[in-house]
């Protein structure tokens, strides 16, 4: 999973900002204030990038042409954080363990799903 910072163009409106991401075709959003605009554009980036094999390389903010009143700010896109928010549905997995281990775990009341999730997070270095 990748974390990147993209230049985002902020256009002040009567209330809040409209925003666009030059490096991601068709990526636009808006927000009633700066915090909401950033949050909304991060979600818009996630939607636009869901089917990409790789995240596009961010361009230099200095090379972006602006209209009067607009400004550029670097906005983080954290692919892992986005997926955690969007992919909450459980996925059933079939696995195999030795019978003796299964019996011992069941006798101890082990929650197999929780153990597997914790082990995968540890193995992958994520929280």
Nearest-angstrom CA–CA distance, 63 and 22: 11
Q: Mean pLDDT of all residues in the chain?
A: 91
pLDDT at 90: 86
What is the pLDDT, as a whole number, of residue 1?
53
Query: Model-level pTM?
Result: 0.72
Residue 85 has a pLDDT of 85
| Beta-carbon contacts of residue 45 (< 8 Å; ≥ 6 apart) | 6, 21, 24, 27, 75, 77, 82
């Amino acid at each position: 999973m990748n974390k990147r910072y993209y230049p985002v163009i902020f256009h002040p409106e009567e209330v809040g900002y409209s925003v666009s991401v030059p490096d991601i075709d068709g990526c636009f959003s808006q927000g009633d204030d700066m915090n909401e605009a950033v949050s909304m554009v991060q979600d818009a980036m996630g939607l636009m990038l869901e089917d990409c094999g790789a995240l596009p390389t961010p361009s230099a903010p200095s090379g972006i042409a602006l209209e009067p009143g607009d400004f550029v700010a670097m906005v983080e896109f954290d692919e892992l954080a986005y997926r955690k928010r969007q992919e909450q549905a459980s996925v059933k997995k079939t696995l195999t363990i030795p019978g003796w281990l299964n019996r011992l775990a069941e006798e101890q009341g082990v929650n197999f799903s929780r153990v597997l999730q914790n082990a995968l997070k540890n193995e992958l270095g994520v929280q």
